[in-house]
Amino acid sequence: MAGEPRPRSEAAAKRTINAAVQSVAAALGNTPAVCRRSYIDPRVFDRYRDGETIPPVPTRDGEIGPRVRSKVERRVLELIS
């Protein structure tokens, strides 16, 4: 969802959100339901539907280390506040 344009339809938004939830679930080793309920603030989805996202954070070889994670967390907190 980071850096993506506003979804063209609610169906498109749902597909993108579901893909993001699946990605988070895989990264955390949880189910999508647990991630939605416990780890992903619903305001993130609301902002996405409104066309607001955080800019992509460049990673080295796709690795998300503590420094990158910290940047993403700060940007998400700014997005939902």
**Where along the chain do its domains lie?**
10-80
Give Cα separations from 11 to 8, 16, 38 (angstroms): 8, 9, 24
| Tens digits of residue pLDDT in 24-33 | 899 889 999 9
pLDDT value, residue 27:
85
Give the highest mean pLDDT range of 19-28, 53-62, 65-74: 19-28
Q: State the fold for domain 10-80.
A: Topoisomerase I; Chain A, domain 4 (1.10.132)
pLDDT value, residue 56:
82
pLDDT value, residue 80:
94
Backbone angles phi, psi at 11, to 5 degrees: -65, -40
CA 64-34-75 angle, 5° bins: 40
User: Where on the phi/psi map is residue 34: left (φ > 0), alpha (ψ -120 to 50), or beta?
Assistant: alpha
> pTM score, two decimals?
0.78
Helix (H, G, I), strand (E, B), or coil: what is residue 28? helix
Q: In the chain, pLDDT over 70 holds for what percent of residues?
A: 93
